Amino acid sequence: MLDIVFSLLLIALIAFWALYYRPGRERIVEILRRNRRFLLIALWSLFLSLLVFFASSYGYMADSHDIDNAVEAAAEHLSDGGNPYTDNVVPRFPEVYYSSPRPLVNGTYNYLPLDLYIYTAMWKTLSFLGSPHWFVLANAIFSLIATALFWYSTKTDPKILIPVAGSVFIFFSFDNVCLTAALVVAGILFLKRGTVVYHGLLPALLFFGLASLTKTYAVVVLIVFLIMLVQVETAKRNARALLMTLATGVALIGLAIAISVPFGFGAVLDSTVFFHADPDLRINASVGGTPLYQVLGDSDLYFPISAALMFAALLLTLRFRSLMDRIMIAEIVFLSVLLKSTHSAPLVPAIFLLWAYVSRRLSVDDIAHMIRPRADGISEKRG
């Protein structure tokens, strides 16, 4: 069965991406600007309605999500000296589509180690609030950081940004994607502020790398951005900046290995990246809901076709000058071939798209034209 919500989010991403390049976009923006009062009323009405729903349905939302249970169990087990990547101590829903009461099946931790370390620290700090309150508050903190960084980057009117960010938080309040979002927005901030490639854009690469160590689908942004930086510096024959870019990439790989080794590097890969590749493990795991799964299901061709489509998508991105276009192409294909529909995955490309709309131009767009070589070999942003 196709996940309707996931599919609608995917369609919305494609539609808003296409709309960004239509001549009528400026007219739509101008209409919204002229009717700003009605826009504010609509945004705040939506936010306040969601807030009332969130408060009145808090218990139901807690029962209908399993991520808070999984994160807390893994954090507690890690604090007790256990290994949540090898021990079946993490409760999860066994199916995407289920009926009440919702059963929980214990398994290993399916999120990456940086996510585990940070949420364990948050659990130790906020666990006195009880479950799931500490988890929701932790996500509120990460969402607040992301919102503050987004405002600092775009100077968006707070009267518009607050209801939008608040509505997004309510939707993901029981999802650990809030941490990933904060790291992605931090990377975007450095993209805008970067004036020297290996001094400004490489911190962006670092934050995208950290985001990819919390959620596997954030690695798409990292790979696309790294490829573009390597392309730019290779074309400009800037050996020093290219070396710094590659060194940052190697450092991120080293960090990923370093934080995984204590749990067993193979165990981490099996529990996160390759978890759904094992049909026996998928018996007690939630799968399905994505376009490719709807077509192929449990076919043995699923993973070869998924890998081929992603490789083709990355090759296709090389023909585009815009970083946003590259990210959108790769992310849309990735979302289409995921084995499991997850409503949080579209948030990462949506952040880039929203930033493009708010900025009305992309500072990340066409990095090759954004920078130029200086006499000393250092690249700087065009004035």
State how far the Cα of 327 lies from the Cα of 295, in Å rounded to an integer: 25
Rounded to 5 degrees, what angle do the CA atoms 256, 262, 266 make?
70
How does pLDDT run across 128-186, given as a tens digit for each residue? 999 899 999 999 999 999 999 999 888 888 998 999 999 999 999 999 999 999 999 99
The larger pLDDT score, comparing residue 361 to residue 257, is at 257
Is the CB of residue 185 less than 8 Å from the CB of residue 142?
Answer: no
Domain that holds residue 42: 4-381
pLDDT on residue 286 = 59
pLDDT at 1: 57
pLDDT at 60 over 90: no
Query: Residue 107 belongs to what H/E stretch?
Result: strand 105-107
- What's the pLDDT score for residue 19? 79
Average pLDDT, the chain: 81
Answer yes or no: is pLDDT of 302 > 90.
Answer: no
pLDDT at 254: 92
Nearest to 134 by CA among 191, 71, 228: 71
- Distance between CA 251 and CA 190 in Å, rounded? 18
3-state helix, strand, coil in the chain (%, to 5): 70, 5, 25
Query: Mind listing the pLDDT tens digit for each residue in 22-56?
Result: 666 667 667 777 888 888 999 999 999 999 999 99
- Among 120-129, 200-209, 246-255, 275-284, where is mean pLDDT lowest? 275-284
End-to-end CA distance of the chain: 52
- Count how many domains the chain has: 1
349: pLDDT strictly greater than 50: yes
